[in-house]
Amino acid sequence: MFTLAYPLTETVEIDGTTYPIDMSFDNILRLIEMLNDQEIDDVTQVELGMQMFIGVDLDCDINLKGSIFNKLFEDVVSEGEKKSRPVDIKGNPMPSNEESEGGASYSLTEDAEYIYASFMQDYGMDLFEYQGKLHWSKFRALLAGLGDETKFKKVLEIRGMELPTGKGTEKQRKSILDAKRAYALKGQPLPEAE
């Protein structure tokens, strides 16, 4: 969880040895892309992922290395999102927006141009100049804080729009459907006209 009360995570201790972690946003984005690549097997993903994180090959079996990698990814990339998911009064996990809307509303890969343009618009930041410098946690906080007038936020708004119903809404409905199709993510069902 992002907090201003503690320093950003930049090291990890594994079996009593402290390793620096490359937490630059561009390294984490490459890591996420690699993990989403269906052509790379699990063992290779773990080996490459550990190299990307700490830059060394741990001398242990692949199962232990996989456990370390998964824990590291959950703690420093996802920042414990699943752990901090809201619960109801009985302690049951509440449905997230992504689940209730049928999937993710954005992709760091597919929406890269919108994210880049929005960082320039809102913060005057050329993300290419921040490669290797901007910490992943800072990137995530800035991404979440983008203004409603940015391209990225407008695309998210289009993807989340409800289709109007009732008499006289055909033209508006068609316009929204066309926009939703234009900005749809790969692999997500396209809205259909009724």
Angstrom distance (rounded) from CA 135 to CA 126? 15
Q: What backbone phi and psi angles, to 5 degrees, belong to 25?
A: -60, -35
Query: Is the CB of residue 6 less than 8 Å from the CB of residue 117?
Result: no
Pick 102 or 22 by higher pLDDT: 22
- CB atoms under 10 Å from CB of 88, counted, come to 8
**Percent of the chain beyond pLDDT 90?**
57
- H or E, element range at 12: strand 11-14
Report the Cα–Cα distance between both ends of the chain, in Å, rounded.
Answer: 42
pLDDT of 44:
94
Confidence of residue 193 (pLDDT cuts 50, 70, 90): low
Q: Does residue 72 lie within any of the structural domains?
A: yes
Q: Within a domain: residue 192? A: no
Q: Is residue 18 part of a domain?
A: yes
Q: Which domain holds residue 178?
A: 104-182
The answer to whether residue 116 sits within a structural domain is yes
Q: At what angle do helices 25-35 and 42-54 cross, to 10 degrees?
A: 170
Residue 47 lies in a domain: yes
Residue type, 137: S
Domain termination site, one of 61, 77, 93 = 77
- Mean pLDDT across the chain, nearest whole number? 85
Examine the pLDDT at 6 and tell me if it is beyond 60. yes
Average pLDDT over residues 20-39: 94
In a domain, 33, yes or no: yes
Helices 25-35 and 136-144: crossing angle, nearest 10°? 90
Kindly report the pTM of this predicted structure: 0.80
Judgement on whether residues 153 and 115 belong to the same structural domain of the protein: yes
CB-side exposure of 99: number of CA atoms within 13 Å?
Answer: 6
Please determine, for residue 194, whether its predicted confidence score (pLDDT) is greater than 70. Answer: no
Q: How many domains does the chain have?
A: 2
Which tokens go with 5?
């009360």
Using one digit for the tens of pLDDT, what is the confidence trace for 108-151?
999 999 999 999 999 999 999 999 999 999 999 999 999 999 99
**Residues 122, 71 share a domain:** no
| pLDDT tops 90 at residue 29 | yes
pLDDT tens, residue by residue, 42-94? 999 999 999 999 998 888 899 999 999 999 998 888 875 554 444 444 444 44
